[in-house]
Chain A
Amino acid sequence: MTGRCGPVAVDIGLDFEGEEIEVSTFQEERERERHRAKRSDSDRERRKRGNGRRKRASRAEEGKGESQARHDRREKGRRKRTRRDQDDKGRKRDEEVQAKIKSGKSAKTRKHIKYEKKRKMEEKLEVEEGEGEERHAKRKRKHGSANKEERDEDGRKRTVKEKAQGVKRKKHKKVVETSSEPSEEEDNDEEDNEEVEVRPESLSSEELEKLKEAVDERKKLIQVLRGKPWPMKKKCVTLWESQEFVEKYEGALGKGKGRKLYAYKVMMTKKWMKFQRDFENFKTACIPWEMKIKEIESHFGSSVASYFIFLRWMYGINMILFCLTFGLVMVPEALMGRPYGTIPRKTVPRAEATSAMDFAVLWDFGGYAQYSVLFYGYYNNQRAIGWLKFRMPLSYFLVGVGTVAYSYMVVIRTMARNANESGVGDDNSFNFNWKMFTSWDYLIGNPETADNKFASITTSFKEAILEEQESRKDDNIHLTRFLRVLANFLVLCCLAGSGYLIYFVVRRSQKFALDGLENHSWWERNEVNMVMSLLGMFCPMLFDVISALENYHPRVALQWQLGRIFALFLGNLYTFIIALMDEINLKREEEKIIKFNITTWEASLYNGTVSENSTAPPVTIQPADVPRGPCWETMVGQEFVRLIISDTMTTYITLLIGDFLRAVLVRFLNYCWCWDLEAGFPSYSEFDVSGNVLGLIFNQGMIWMGAFYAPCLPALNILRLHVSMYLQCWAVMCCNVPQERVFKASGSNNFYMAMLLVILFLSTLPAIYTIVTIPPSFDCGPFSGKQHMFDVIQETLELDFPAWFGKVFSYASNPGLVLPFILLMVLAIYYLQSTSKSYKEANVELKKKLQTQNEENKKKNKLAALKAQMDQEEARKASS
């Protein structure tokens, strides 16, 4: 809402501000006048000082003329001079500046206070009585020296400008007289307080209030100053004036004993502001890859840069996830848990021991990698580990939940913020204007991109004109409809085909796995991942071809394309998961058999040695020899890790071959080829923003899905993102050409976010399903031996918390309480939604009202102007 009527309101606001300043300064001056009348002592002294000031001021005038040429000056002197220049020039200017000048007048002599500033601070702090006289003297002395300095400098380069001087001096005199008051007043005020109310009438509370308002006004002005479209000089002058005004009067505001505190407070706020600014600077300096992204931004425009910003954002999220899993799960287990080789789940079984260190095995995350903190199965179900009594299973569970919860929070928050920013621009009433006024991307600093941009703007203009013309008559709608239906049918076929292919491959791989992986070739072992990666690579190209049939507007076409790729990836992922579920069930069958076998095995082991009631002599079996279950959780984790690795590899390899090699070939074969390679068929590749964003999103989805079973996934992902940041930055800069159709980034930002949210939801769904429904393996992982994974919460409540807490918890989780609560939430959502809807409607109404009012105002103004003109003419006629 504010966005909509923003400009108008702000205009008014600005005007108002100016007026207010004028008024307030007016008041101040009046006040000062009054004070002057009231007080008669210390007049002599003031006059003396006034004289000094006058002289100096006039001299400053003289110096002004050639101030530009001087460069051996001290900083302060120069600044002051420009300020004076500005003031004098400003006096001749229009009324807006008048307001400034009014304040300027009081500030005019405040330049002296620069010198006094430090001293005043000291004075304020040293509250020693009876020193008033001495201080005055001191000040005079310092003044004198300051004067001398100035005089020397000015005198050196003085040019005589007699004429102007006379007039100006008069002006200055008045100014000096009025404005030398307050400082004096302040001093007196100080004395008042010290000398126990000699002149209690010097500042009434009302006046203090006014003064305070004025000071606040100035403070506000300082804050909004940067948002004003003024040249720097004017801003500088205003800043200095306001700052000095504030500095000067702030001291007068505190009363009696509060003064010291007040001065302290003011000082602290200043320090605090400075600290904040420094901190802000520090923060921007800490943003990684800022320069890289800006460089890309200036070459390729904001849409390509938006991908990298998205990548960086993703990196940040993964960093948090990594910290969670690494700090709360992996490190405690590695440091405080039982070391490797002490129990069966932490040892490589005897059968695999020989090949456990082979690179091929490690690359598949088998062998030693499988029996390490990287995977679920390694963790022990010991309730508390180490001297810290760290609750490992609980921590594992909570981290799993926490990563998901955190991701949801971040994504939704970002979406809400984006919606706030771009929510205003969803109507189409200013189509042409936006094309006209906002289509140029000022970041473009590359001539090639600029040419593309010119072309795309021209096309968009032409298209818009055509659309406008053709919006009424539409040609052969049946053909387009038919083609679109056909295209969608083809796409559906593709999707179904790819889904089936993946399912088929996964089932086949299970067969291979049952046979034992060693008997098969590399391709057969990595079939699933390769097929998924290849599908992800080629299907989008197919969709691109198909979408040519549809004849959509490019923006719409892009969204369709994104939607289809999304569906493809999602379909692939879900077939993968379904196949995985099958495998989990198989493993659980296997587990049952093994469990039975183990009991018999144990019985046979103990049978020989254990007699009735003697304590069992320790049977020493190597942990590597103990038979164990298949541990489906680790299997799931491994699958996801392999998927991520192969996905990363395909991305990098396509990048190297598709972009780099192609660019090299095009570049160097172009000299000896029969057609122009650079302009013709292969040409250089474009940076595919949407495809890359989608890849990133799906990668993240896999991380969310698998992170519970393989705590190493966030770490792997960080590595991947880090490398791809550099690799892609390099690839973009060295072998891509800017897109032909340069799209705006901001429009699709929330689209990507929405996809991310959907993926997050869809990827947490299977993870949560497995956690809740499938009982954990009996001999591996932190939850082994429990009926469900979430039983760990129950256990903690019972054992670590007082009894009443468990009771309260059980009451709170009672369906009788939960159901009404959910109902309440639904109601709240409904209520909020309906209010937001009504707000939107009100917004539209207001907008309409604003428009009509604008029109009316204009009409009125025109009429008034016309009338005035008529009157004038009549008057002229009458007079003649």
Chain B
Amino acid sequence: MGTTASQLGKDLLSEYQELTFLTKQEILLAHKRFTELLTKDEKDLPNTRVPVERILTLPELKSNPFRKRICHVFSTSEYKDGSLTFEDFLDLLSAFSDSATMEIKSHYAFRIFDFDDDGTLDCGDLEKLVNCLTGETDDTRLTTEEMRQLISNILEESDIDKDGTVNLSEFQHVISRSPDFVSSFKIVL
């Protein structure tokens, strides 16, 4: 929504500060980084969507195993292609910022982990999640037996209503008691 894409309006900036957990400097830095991703002719257009491939060239996201999911969750694109506008980008940074609350972080974490977007974490989601966490190479992969064991352990711990899936409130319940989550669910530019 930048006017000429090189400068953010003053009241827009203050609105973004109001609406995100970012400080002014962080917003400006985000804007700078975002405009760097744009091509020449896109810079003149407002509301440009940056395709997911270009977003993923950011070093902050490059080695993140959830990078595609993150883009997907924060994208407001109608085609579900994971492309981000600047505002989506700000949303992303805000949710991953230092001062964001546990609630908002866990909400987005849930949506990131929910690979099939059905609102619950079922066995398929968990399996994909484990595969993401153990990396792409085969030697770090878990065997199917281990995987089964792991997933059953996880469900045993957190699936309070025993319906075979982890839903949002169960997830938040687990996450809210984790000592590390808030400090590690962070991305800084």
Q: Does A425 contact B (CB under 8 A)?
A: yes
Q: Give the CA-CA distance A829 to B143 in the complex, in Å.
A: 53
Say whether B46 contacts A229, CB under 8 Å.
no
Say whether A231 contacts B20, CB under 8 Å.
no
B14: A residues at CB distance < 8 A = 274, 277
Q: Which of B17, B19, B23, B146 has the most CB of A within 10 A?
A: B19
Q: Does B184 contact A (CB under 8 A)?
A: yes
Instruction: Give which listed residue, A78, A462, A745, contacts B146 with CB less than 8 A.
Output: A462
Question: Whose C-beta in chain A lies nearest to the C-beta of B25?
Answer: A285
The total number of A-B Cβ pairs within 8 Å is 230
Can you show 13 pairs from A to B with CB atoms below 8 A apart?
Answer: A78-B46, A226-B94, A277-B17, A422-B179, A425-B177, A433-B158, A441-B184, A444-B64, A450-B63, A454-B137, A465-B146, A465-B150, A468-B153
Q: Give the CA-CA distance A281 to B14 in the complex, in Å.
A: 11
With A281-B24, A446-B63 already in contact, the answer to whether A424 and B180 are too (CB < 8 A) is no
Question: Whose C-beta in chain B lies nearest to the C-beta of A285?
Answer: B25
Q: Does A867 contact B (CB under 8 A)?
A: no
A8: B residues at CB distance < 8 A = 169, 173
Q: Give the CA-CA distance A793 to B104 in the complex, in Å.
A: 55
Closest chain-A Cβ to B67's Cβ sits at a distance in Å of: 10
A 427-475 contacts with B by CB, 8 A: 427, 429-434, 436-447, 449-451, 454-455, 457-458, 461-462, 464-465, 468-469
Instruction: Give which listed residue, B25, B91, B95, contacts A284 with CB less than 8 A.
Output: B25
Say whether A461 contacts B146, CB under 8 Å.
yes
Say whether B184 contacts A440, CB under 8 Å.
yes
Closest chain-A Cβ to B2's Cβ sits at a distance in Å of: 10
A427: B residues at CB distance < 8 A = 177
Closest chain-A Cβ to B181's Cβ sits at a distance in Å of: 4
Say whether A438 contacts B175, CB under 8 Å.
yes
B 85-117 contacts with A by CB, 8 A: 87-88, 90-91, 94-96, 100-104, 106-109, 113
Not counting A433-B157, A437-B113, a sample of 17 additional A-B residue pairs whose C-beta atoms are within 8 angstroms of each other reads A3-B176, A71-B45, A227-B104, A239-B19, A297-B188, A436-B150, A438-B181, A442-B66, A450-B135, A454-B140, A458-B140, A465-B150, A468-B153, A854-B160, A854-B161, A855-B161, A858-B161
B 147-189 contacts with A by CB, 8 A: 149-150, 153-154, 157-158, 160-163, 169, 171-181, 183-188
Q: Give the CA-CA distance A433 to B100 in the complex, in Å.
A: 22
Closest chain-B Cβ to A599's Cβ sits at a distance in Å of: 66
A228: B residues at CB distance < 8 A = 104
A737: B residues at CB distance < 8 A = none
Q: Give the CA-CA distance A281 to B135 in the complex, in Å.
A: 38
Q: Does A840 contact B (CB under 8 A)?
A: no
Q: Give the CA-CA distance A710 to B146 in the complex, in Å.
A: 61
Say whether A447 contacts B178, CB under 8 Å.
no
Closest chain-A Cβ to B44's Cβ sits at a distance in Å of: 6
Say whether A449 contacts B150, CB under 8 Å.
no
A11: B residues at CB distance < 8 A = 169
Instruction: Give which listed residue, B15, B46, B133, B187, contacts A442 with CB less than 8 A.
Output: B187
Instruction: Give which listed residue, B11, B175, B183, contacts A746 with CB less than 8 A.
Output: B183
Q: Give the CA-CA distance A744 to B1 in the complex, in Å.
A: 38
Say whether A745 contacts B183, CB under 8 Å.
yes
Q: Give the CA-CA distance A468 to B158 in the complex, in Å.
A: 16
Interface string of B48-69 (1 = CB under 8 A from A): 0000000000011111111000
B76: A residues at CB distance < 8 A = 231-233
A437: B residues at CB distance < 8 A = 109, 113, 171, 174-175, 178, 181
Q: Give the CA-CA distance A274 to B18 in the complex, in Å.
A: 10
Q: Give the CA-CA distance A71 to B4 in the complex, in Å.
A: 8
A 2-50 contacts with B by CB, 8 A: 3-4, 6-8, 10-11
With A7-B106, A461-B142 already in contact, the answer to whether A298 and B188 are too (CB < 8 A) is yes
Q: Does B38 contact A (CB under 8 A)?
A: no
Say whether B174 contacts A430, CB under 8 Å.
yes
B135: A residues at CB distance < 8 A = 450-451, 454-455, 458
Q: Does B134 contact A (CB under 8 A)?
A: yes
Question: Whose C-beta in chain A lies nearest to the C-beta of B126?
Answer: A436
Question: Whose C-beta in chain A lies nearest to the C-beta of B154?
Answer: A432
With A432-B157, A437-B174, A858-B160 already in contact, the answer to whether A424 and B179 are too (CB < 8 A) is yes
Q: Give the CA-CA distance A736 to B70 in the complex, in Å.
A: 30
Say whether B185 contacts A438, CB under 8 Å.
yes
Q: Count how many chain B residues have C-beta atoms less than 8 Å from C-beta atoms of the other chain.
A: 84
Q: Give the CA-CA distance A443 to B181 in the complex, in Å.
A: 12
Q: Give the CA-CA distance A744 to B141 in the complex, in Å.
A: 22
Chain A binding surface SS class: helix
Q: Give the CA-CA distance A78 to B157 in the complex, in Å.
A: 50
Say whether A438 contacts B154, CB under 8 Å.
no
Say whether B134 contacts A461, CB under 8 Å.
yes
Question: Whose C-beta in chain A lies nearest to the C-beta of B172?
Answer: A7
Q: Does A126 contact B (CB under 8 A)?
A: no
Q: Does B124 contact A (CB under 8 A)?
A: no
A236: B residues at CB distance < 8 A = 15, 19, 87
Closest chain-A Cβ to B82's Cβ sits at a distance in Å of: 14
Say whether A445 contacts B60, CB under 8 Å.
yes
Say whether A439 contacts B133, CB under 8 Å.
yes
A68: B residues at CB distance < 8 A = 47
B108: A residues at CB distance < 8 A = 229
A 292-308 contacts with B by CB, 8 A: 294, 297-298, 302
Q: Give the CA-CA distance A842 to B48 in the complex, in Å.
A: 53
B23: A residues at CB distance < 8 A = 280-281, 284-285
Closest chain-A Cβ to B173's Cβ sits at a distance in Å of: 6
Closest chain-A Cβ to B89's Cβ sits at a distance in Å of: 9
A442: B residues at CB distance < 8 A = 64, 66, 96, 184-187
Closest chain-A Cβ to B10's Cβ sits at a distance in Å of: 10
Closest chain-A Cβ to B86's Cβ sits at a distance in Å of: 9
Q: Does B119 contact A (CB under 8 A)?
A: no
A465: B residues at CB distance < 8 A = 146, 149-150, 153
Q: Does A235 contact B (CB under 8 A)?
A: yes
Say whether A10 contacts B103, CB under 8 Å.
yes
Q: Does B6 contact A (CB under 8 A)?
A: no
A231: B residues at CB distance < 8 A = 76, 87-88, 91
A431: B residues at CB distance < 8 A = 157
Q: Give the CA-CA distance A457 to B14 in the complex, in Å.
A: 41
Instruction: Give which listed residue, A78, A239, A438, contacts B1 with CB less than 8 A.
Output: A78
Say whether A226 contacts B158, CB under 8 Å.
no
A447: B residues at CB distance < 8 A = 62-63
Interface string of A207-251 (1 = CB under 8 A from B): 000000000000000100111110111011001000000000000
A433: B residues at CB distance < 8 A = 154, 157-158, 174, 178
Q: Give the CA-CA distance A625 to B96 in the complex, in Å.
A: 70
Closest chain-B Cβ to A828's Cβ sits at a distance in Å of: 30
B126: A residues at CB distance < 8 A = 436
Interface string of A585-615 (1 = CB under 8 A from B): 0000000000000000000000000000000
Q: Does B34 contact A (CB under 8 A)?
A: no
Instruction: Give which listed residue, A3, A79, A226, A747, contacts B19 with CB less than 8 A.
Output: A226
A-B CB proximity, top 8 nearest: A425-B179, A454-B135, A7-B172, A858-B161, A232-B87, A450-B63, A438-B181, A229-B107
Instruction: Give which listed residue, A3, A7, A82, contacts B169 with CB less than 8 A.
Output: A7
Say whether A281 contacts B25, CB under 8 Å.
yes
Closest chain-A Cβ to B126's Cβ sits at a distance in Å of: 7
Q: Give the CA-CA distance A316 to B187 in the complex, in Å.
A: 26
Say whether B130 contacts A436, CB under 8 Å.
yes
Closest chain-A Cβ to B172's Cβ sits at a distance in Å of: 3
Q: Give the CA-CA distance A225 to B20 in the complex, in Å.
A: 8
Q: Give the CA-CA distance A468 to B146 in the complex, in Å.
A: 12
Question: Whose C-beta in chain B lies nearest to the C-beta of A82?
Answer: B1
B140: A residues at CB distance < 8 A = 454-455, 458
Say whether B176 contacts A7, CB under 8 Å.
yes
Q: Does A851 contact B (CB under 8 A)?
A: yes
Q: Does B129 contact A (CB under 8 A)?
A: yes
Question: Whose C-beta in chain A lies nearest to the C-beta of B102?
Answer: A6
Question: Whose C-beta in chain B lies nearest to the C-beta of A429?
Answer: B157
Say whether A454 contacts B113, CB under 8 Å.
no
Q: Give the CA-CA distance A437 to B65 in the complex, in Å.
A: 13
